[in-house]
Chains A and B, each alone.
Chain A
């Protein structure tokens, strides 16, 4: 036994030594055929002694050693040069930088550097690898020869072969991956980027040349006859050019991919070209979309995806022999995507892999475009409706990504710091609000997003004093004189809204809101839907109409307040413009009636009726009195002709409180008024007139020796200047007494004539008493821009004119003063109170005549007027008594 064992032992040692030496020769030597045959007996002997697997292990380990020391380190060294390249190791900034740099710039720096290096070193390492694979085959052969002596079957051999080869593969990739330098993935990415750029440029050039077929056949198989089918309707997009898999560019890329895969870099490679493709796509989206909001870009992007990356991928997959649908046979589970009606120009049957790529790329495009648009949503809305193509694109993107909440967050924050600031005028905010509503109706038919956005804007606007006035002006003023001039001039917002509502009525029954879409919004926002609107019974459509008017009213608080403000503004307009376009106001009124109900607008209707009746009365009174022919007569002396007089006769109970001031109008005018009065009383007995002499407008002509100037002014202004016919110089005291108005009012009003250069002001004997003198000679004809017989348009600057009717605030103020003491008392007791507390206390305790019936908004505006009078203070939503 011992001798046998010793003998065997010696034999084993001898054979093992031979095997090791042989292996080394095999691995070092290049293709010495004799080594293979030497190996066969050695392996056989070792196998006999049960050392076959040990031999395999040793063999592979030696391979690994050799591969690592001789091949891999050399391979990585090739790329050392690029390790410190700024674009290669600044991983994080890389994308940004690429985005900022043009592609050409990128690549002219690099020339063809690593394309060559990569190709060459890949070739080398693959040669080494395949030599080693051959070595493995030699071992396999040796083992096989031994096996054949014992068993007679190919199964064992097959198994052995694949087992050893896969161990070898594993060894290769693990050696490479464990030594992988950090910058290598970047090298690959750059390589693919460059190649894709080349391809893209070629295709784009192709596109621009309009397919005049000067394409190198070497590069392309042109298939211009093919057109996009299915859902890809093409509008002036890339013509269908199929990149064939024997295109040399694709070939060279394919070769690199194949070599990389053989080295075990399969996923690394795919990552690299995927990220190159995505980057390219991102660049494309940015360059196509950019700051262009006025034309749709989504379709062009999708077409580009078809034309460039998908063509490339298809060619690549075909080249790599993977165009066959490998999934369908592998599992019974067929992807639901496979049924999608995609069509690929020049590709007859897209593989599932390609379909998946398309979905990935398109999703990425949606997301990129969506982010781009959301980031600029504020500008897009400012540009609305011209920017509606961008809105449409965004809508489509969101339908695919479902990232509505992103839009909400981003837009609300941009509103906060760009719009809802002290610097923005109320008008601008309102216009932007309306544009926002209009623009987002498309994206958000359910109105969920608007609810959120609107809340911010409404809260902000409630704190502004001029909000109601601006809203009313915006709604009813058709002159379009207000800043941002979006929309048709000459058409008020109300008219537009009414027209929209009518159109919506007509179109509504066809389009039903996609409930998924609404669901997407709701889940995106996690809001409770408005319970009133949820009722789906109405005509089978659960659509919540986005009512711009209602949204505007909700800023104000109630429609009554809006109507009130409108009434005051209407009164101002009707009283201060002698030739007011009453027809347009009646039109507005009719529209308001539609929206707010007839009874709400009754008082306003009476006001406009008064104007219509006044015109009739004027005509009949003038007709009833024989006109003395006074042409050329001196107005100063004789009676004025009645035909210069027009009267607006108001039903004062229905008008806002009138600001009455006494004024002694010139006696000739006074005579005219009382003649008119008498006549009115005769016609309309038992009704009589009460004059509001300070109200109205006077058109007059100042006649100097060398010039005449026309003005349209208030009766007080007219009365003032007429005093200077008799006497060229007046002190303010005397003049005020003559006219019958307070001196301070006179000083304010007379200023108009001083500004126009008609009167000159000087300080009299008493420094408080100013002296006004008529400027009879025009010393400087250009003074104050006056030219002879020039017509000085309408009255004056606004501050000159005092209001004819009490403003809503003034009325409210009057009604609220009785509660002022009560509020003060509460604040003395409690120190500080919130708006709600004050409101509720007033409701609870002020039940006596008149009971407290004001809205929260009204109370708030009253309190803020007390704050501005420094009676109260407001901090953090609490009111305090000002100490």
Chain B
């Protein structure tokens, strides 16, 4: 039996694949509401675009809605609930660059 080159060709007309999305974060759950990042905050119905994550300058991430509530509830200068450093939103470009340069962990 000699494996020979086949005269059959397979043409793919449509490949319907399945994937799940996930936030590219270090943690699994939000440190504020304890809900999964891939879920949503207690105030939201739909995960993903409707309930995004946000990174602080310290590189901790939270549900946007959770950290906003936290920040607004602080009377003085807000701190990161995880590391107690002064809370600052990480700039989008900065974060993207950070990923591209693969230099995480500036916390």
A-side residues, CB < 8 A to B, are 575, 578, 602, 605-606, 609, 613, 634-636, 640, 644-655, 658, 669, 672-673, 676-677, 680-681, 684-693, 695-705, 710, 715, 718, 721-722, 724-729, 771, 773-774, 776, 804
Contact = CB atoms under 8 A, between A and B. Distances in A.
Given A651-B21, A686-B99, A698 B38 contact: no
B21 A649 contact: yes
Contact of B15 (A646, A703, A705, A729): A646
Contacts of B6: 724-728, 774, 776
A693 B18 CA distance: 7
Nearest to B3: A727
Contacts of A644: 12-15
A609 to B, nearest CB: 6
Interface in B32-82: 36, 38-39, 45-49, 53, 55
B84 to A, nearest CB: 24
A652 B20 CA distance: 6
Max chain A Cβ within 10 angstroms of own Cβ: one of B12, B22, B46: B12
Nearest to B6: A728
A727 B38 CA distance: 43
Contact of B3 (A655, A691, A728): A728
Given A606-B47, A689-B22, 14 more contacts: A635-B9, A650-B18, A651-B39, A654-B39, A669-B15, A685-B96, A687-B22, A691-B17, A695-B18, A700-B10, A700-B12, A724-B6, A725-B6, A771-B1
A700 B17 CA distance: 14
Contacts of B36: 653
Given A651-B48, A726-B6, A575 B11 contact: no
A727 B10 CA distance: 13
B17 A693 contact: yes
A528 B10 CA distance: 69
B11 A648 contact: no
Nearest to A764: B1
B38 A672 contact: no
Max chain B Cβ within 10 angstroms of own Cβ: one of A685, A693, A728, A729: A728
B23 A578 contact: no
B21 A648 contact: no
A677 B22 CA distance: 12
A669 B21 CA distance: 19
Contact of B21 (A634, A658, A689): A689
Given A652-B38, A654-B39, A727-B6, A710 B13 contact: yes
Given A648-B19, A691-B19, A722 B10 contact: yes
Contacts of A726: 5-6
A246 B3 CA distance: 109
A804 B16 CA distance: 14
Interface string B90-101: 000001100100
Given A578-B14, A649-B21, A703 B46 contact: no
Given A685-B96, A686-B95, A690-B19, A699 B53 contact: no
B82 to A, nearest CB: 18
A702 B10 contact: yes
B24 interface: yes
Nearest to A705: B7
Max chain A Cβ within 10 angstroms of own Cβ: one of B3, B11, B18, B48: B18
Given A654-B47, A776-B7, A701 B13 contact: yes
Contacts of A696: 15-18
Contact of A646 (B4, B7, B17): B17
Given A651-B38, A652-B38, A654-B47, A704 B17 contact: no
Contacts of A688: 21-22, 24
A725 B8 contact: yes
A704 B7 CA distance: 6
Contacts of A658: 20
A617 to B, nearest CB: 9
Max chain A Cβ within 10 angstroms of own Cβ: one of B13, B14, B15, B49: B15
B20 A669 contact: no
Contacts of A704: 7-8
B8 A648 contact: no
Contacts of A690: 19-22
Which range holds the interface residue count of chain B? 35 or more
A779 to B, nearest CB: 15
Given A652-B20, A776-B6, A715 B15 contact: yes
A715 B95 CA distance: 36
Max chain A Cβ within 10 angstroms of own Cβ: one of B20, B24, B53: B20
A722 B11 CA distance: 9
Nearest to A687: B21
Contact of A648 (B1, B17, B22, B38): B17
Contacts of B19: 647-650, 677, 689-692
Nearest to B55: A686
Nearest to B47: A651
B16 A703 contact: no
Contacts of A645: 14-17
A838 B99 CA distance: 55
Contacts of B45: 602, 605-606
A700 B38 CA distance: 34
6 contacts: A645-B16, A648-B17, A688-B24, A692-B17, A692-B20, A776-B8
A718 B22 contact: no
Contacts of B14: 578, 644-646, 697-699
B78 to A, nearest CB: 22
Contacts of A695: 17-18
Contact of B11 (A651, A700, A773): A700
Max chain B Cβ within 10 angstroms of own Cβ: one of A651, A654, A655, A724: A651
B12 to A, nearest CB: 5
A702 B8 contact: yes
A606 to B, nearest CB: 6
A703 B38 contact: no
B9 A636 contact: yes
A689 B20 contact: yes
Contacts of A685: 24, 96, 99
A626 B48 CA distance: 27
Contacts of A687: 21-24, 48
A580 to B, nearest CB: 10
A701 B13 CA distance: 7
A649 B99 CA distance: 23
A421 B100 CA distance: 67
A253 B33 CA distance: 97
Nearest to A640: B12
Contacts of A727: 3-6
A697 B16 contact: yes
A601 B47 CA distance: 15
B11 A703 contact: yes
Contact of A703 (B8, B22, B55): B8
B37 to A, nearest CB: 9
A718 B16 contact: no
Contacts of B53: 686
A676 to B, nearest CB: 8
A659 B13 CA distance: 25
A684 B21 contact: yes
A650 B20 CA distance: 5
